[in-house]
Structure 1
């Protein structure tokens, strides 16, 4: 749901203080109703953004119904809150953002899209090919594009395999810093460091620190292998 407090989604993201949690919903892993229930539970617990997408098995046929179900669930929660003067209905104004595997996994009902370049892919399709195919759809649908550099780190998981990525190892701090500088130079708003869905270990803290030190302008997201609060901290 588009927040009423900011003019666009990227401004909403920048307005968040400190670290925030994003839930990733894979439409290939759950029905639209189950996905919506998970999002309501996550937002109730403090999640401030919802990503919808996956590394494989997603297309408009499952992405769009999932996005619609999540939006409708948030609308209902907001309406319920509006009936109680003690509750803040804007609490439920949490953006639903596409995190697509490619140009076929889109929805016009999303609030925004992570318009990403898989920067360390060896396949040009993930550098610019899918983006070129998806751009007209995004423009026509009026979905806000948020430029994002996407870098897959070891162990990489399914994302690394599908994206044909040359994985960034834990000791390659200078390389990840260079990727951060490159992302900033391209004008991206976000840098996403990915360990891979289901990864046994998250992105190494040294890589995160190096990326953060290299650019204080980028919004830094980290995903994969984060299984509990202690790991997130």
Structure 2
């Protein structure tokens, strides 16, 4: 079964899923890692997303290997760049930053990583990524050179989400 099929099946059956996004640059190490993993396994979290807007030193492949050894749920890549795509996850969210107007994040990076993902045989989830908010500039907004949709502009967020759905994006984040 695919990640998206499982998600929709859980939704139909009234089962809830909760994902935690783990930024490889902000993860604990050593004994703190063991306590962290014990906490994750004891929590209601059903899915772990792995990735970040700015990856500076942690190896995604090593983190996936360690998650596989210590975590009981689904592990999905949430890549901020093609360099973060690596084997070992259950699926990859093929992210398109639909709230921005940066062509590199609408299709450019997908061209760079698409063939490699296909060769890995990973489950691919076409995902619209929307930045929404009024707070301080986030790493995602800065790195993508994209302004978030203002929180007060719900109609823009809805129209963007609908357009993503019409483009065939199976999930929105």
Shorter-chain-normalised TM-score: which range?
0.7 to 0.9
Match of 1:46 among 41, 44, 47: 44
How far did residue 118 of structure 1 move? 0.3
Alignment of 1:1-233 (within 5 A): 7-16=1-10, 17=14, 19-30=16-27, 38-57=36-55, 62-74=59-71, 92=72, 94-154=73-133, 155=135, 157-192=138-173
Question: Are the aligned partners of 1:39 and 1:50 in contact in 2 as well (CA < 8 Å)?
Answer: no
Do the aligned partners of residues 40 and 12 (structure 1) sit closer, same or farther apart at CA in structure 2, a change above 3 Å counting? farther
Q: Which consecutive residues of structure 2, in runs of 5 or more, have no partner in the other structure?
A: none
Identify unmatched segments of 5+ residues in structure 1: 1-6, 75-91, 193-233
Question: Residue 112 and residue 58 in structure 1: after superposition, are their counterparts in 2 closer, same or farther (change >3 A)?
Answer: farther
Higher relative CO (Cα under 8 Å, sequence separation at least 6) belongs to 2
Q: CA deviation at 1:37?
A: 5.0
Q: CA deviation at 1:58?
A: 5.1
Runs (4+) off by over 4 Å: 31-37
| Aligned partners of 1:24 and 1:50 also within 8 Å | yes
Q: What is the TM-score when the length of structure 2 is the normalising length?
A: 0.87
**C-alpha displacement at 1:177, in angstroms?**
1.0
Query: RMSD value over aligned CA atoms?
Result: 2.0
Count of residue pairs the alignment pairs up? 167
**TM-score of the two chains, using structure 1 as the length reference:** 0.66
CA deviation vs aligned residue, 1:183-221 (integer Å, no higher than 9, x gap): 1101111111xxxxxxxxxxxxxxxxxxxxxxxxxxxxx
1:104 match: secondary structure: helix
Residues 116 and 27 (structure 1), Cα distance of their counterparts in 2 relative to 1, 3 Å cut: same
Aligned-residue offset at 1:44: 1.8
Deviation, structure 1 residue 109: 0.6
